[in-house]
Chains A and B, each alone.
Chain A
């Protein structure tokens, strides 16, 4: 059984009299432990696909099974539960709560899961340690660099021990070095057994995934497995060229 199973999923938006077909009977599956990059130009339907897989939106047609459960007919409250327990999100613009410490940002999903305070602290600190921010637990989001903020966002996605992490252009606001650092992190998570679905329009970023799906006009154009580039190697190769890594000194 696949973790994600889309069966002829359609999404039609109605804008006045015009019907916009964002997704046209898309069928595809993602196995557990897969690292999938979804590519496509804007308007290709990749964001809509992401929203439906992320239980933020519901398809207008077809079936979506997440971990064997039909989730396309759940109501808002039930979808919130699925997002909380099974999924983790990483966004292009980080979307951390402003003027709030890294720890509290990471604790947020646990708050809605009803985890007691002590346990929340422990697990959030652990998640921040895993993304290499153990020293910056009490820094506020506005006191951190973009790369650090995105690490906090990854920690927040991780903290509920989800089956699937959805990343929507996670490197879109980062420079090339921090991009590679975040991709190292994703590859580590994938190796640790978390399924990752990444939306990007940069082939360089998609190269780190083990499978690339290209969307166009609401349909899947190509879907192929590939040998992923090792982000850690790129980082090691790049490191000597940097005189003083910005991340370490900040």
Chain B
């Protein structure tokens, strides 16, 4: 018998009992819909985490100075300045896996425009910082090496600060007073959004590190009163850069092999991976719960197919009497189960995408429908149909034609 005919016969049999067919595949529809929606939510959350880490900077290491220790009470990292400007130069010079290195000196200060004021974090840094963080100026320009060399009184503002101080006015060329010292606004950075911890990157002002030291911090110092940002040459070399910088700093700080580091290095790539792993675990968990409901749906199909075989025993007998081989009968019921489950899978995909969309709209959850998951779900539901349809189909094909014809 021609495959197309088998499919047509199967479709006819299913349409004859529309309500029952629908109820049978409801399990599959819900199962596939749940898989699609769950994975979409999981993937969306993962993509969001990845994006927020990427916005911090790619291949990023942050070196923090050591901690103070006075009378048994130990301060946190950064409380004791241990990193020197010479350390920075050495990192740039001697760690081959390091591509960029820049300091971030930080202080909170009140910024004043002509008619507004705003307290924000002011950072002293150099142009490499913006390369490490992959952060460009949306208007005007970023900091230049010449600004650092000449201790220019220029400032680059984050978008939030611009909004608070100037509103819709273009601030380029205007003067902003930081700790009452006038700075010229030379650039506005593009919007970067929030850090993975919810901190607003755009709420900040950036001045040359030299200017920061003399005007805001008050005097040049041997130690860096801030952190060092390091951009590794590539994602793969991030670990190598970490090792190289650790070895270099331990050597420079004359630490014995048993002594603790007097600094710490945060590897953002590792943190991002750990976060992404967590999200993947969540996605897998959600998908497997949904997968279980798909299996339950398959059992529903088997159940109804068994009922259908019993109900249509006479029909099977007639088909056998007029020349259907056991294989014909097997295929007929198998194709019926396959059609049922695949149709359920397709409807489930539509339901899943719709649900994901509704959730995204209603709760503002980021969702991401991955095409490969859609294809896998539909194929899997088809497989469920074949696996659970096989037993009833075999049962039908093994019927004795005489008994089948006599069946009441």
Chain A interface residues toward B at CB < 8 A: 51, 54, 56-57, 76-77, 80-81, 83-85, 89, 91, 95-99, 108-109, 111-114, 117, 156, 160
Lowest 8 CB-CB distances: which A-B pairs, in order?
A84-B323, A109-B322, A112-B323, A80-B325, A77-B325, A95-B318, A56-B401, A89-B321
Supply 29 A–B pairs (Cβ within 8 Å), ascending by A: A56-B321, A56-B402, A56-B405, A57-B402, A76-B325, A77-B327, A80-B323, A80-B326, A81-B325, A84-B322, A89-B322, A95-B318, A97-B315, A97-B318, A108-B318, A108-B319, A108-B322, A109-B323, A111-B5, A112-B319, A112-B323, A112-B325, A112-B328, A113-B323, A114-B1, A114-B2, A117-B5, A156-B322, A160-B323
B323 touches A85 (CB 8 A): yes
- How far does the alpha carbon of A54 sit from the alpha carbon of B1 in the complex, in Å? 22
Residue from A80, A91, A117 in contact with B320 in the complex, judged by beta carbons closer than 8 Å:
A80
> Chain A: interface secondary structure?
helix
Residues of A within 8 A of B405 (CB): 56, 91, 95
C-alpha gap A98/B327 in the complex (Å): 23
**Are A83 and B314 touching (Cβ within 8 A)?**
no
A85 contact set on B, CB distance < 8 A: 323
Bound Cα distance A76, B404 (Å): 14
Quote the shortest CB–CB distance from A220 to chain B (angstroms): 21
Whether A51 pairs with B402 at a CB distance below 8 angstroms is: yes
Instruction: Kindly state whether residue B78 has any CB partner on chain A within 8 Å.
Output: no
Which residues of chain A are within 8 angstroms of B324 by Cβ–Cβ distance?
80, 112
- What's the minimum C-beta distance from B247 to chain A, rounded to whole angstroms? 77
Tier of interface size on chain B: 20 to 34
Closest chain A residue to B317 by CB distance?
A95
**Given A76-B326, A97-B315, A111-B9: 12 more A-B contacts, CB < 8 Å:** A51-B402, A77-B327, A85-B323, A89-B321, A89-B322, A95-B317, A95-B318, A95-B321, A99-B16, A109-B323, A112-B328, A113-B323
Q: Which residue of B lies closest to A85 (CB)?
A: B323
Residues of chain A within 8 A (CB-CB) of B1 are 111-112, 114
Name the B residues within 8 Å of A160 (CB-CB).
323
Cα distance A231–B320 in the bound complex, in angstroms: 32
Given A95-B317, A111-B1, CB of A77 within 8 Å of CB of B322: no
On chain B, the residues within 8 Å of A112 by CB distance are 1, 319, 322-325, 328
Least CB distance, A21 to chain B, in whole angstroms: 17
B120 to chain A, nearest CB (A): 77
> A81 and B323: CB pair below 8 A?
yes
A82 nearest CB across to chain B (Å): 8
Instruction: Specify the chain A residue showing the minimal Cβ separation from B329.
Output: A80
Chain A residues with CB under 8 Å of B319's CB are 108, 112
**Chain B residues with CB under 8 A of A95:** 314, 317-318, 321, 405
Q: Which residue of B lies closest to A77 (CB)?
A: B325
Expressed in whole angstroms, the minimum distance between the Cβ of B154 and any Cβ of chain A is: 82
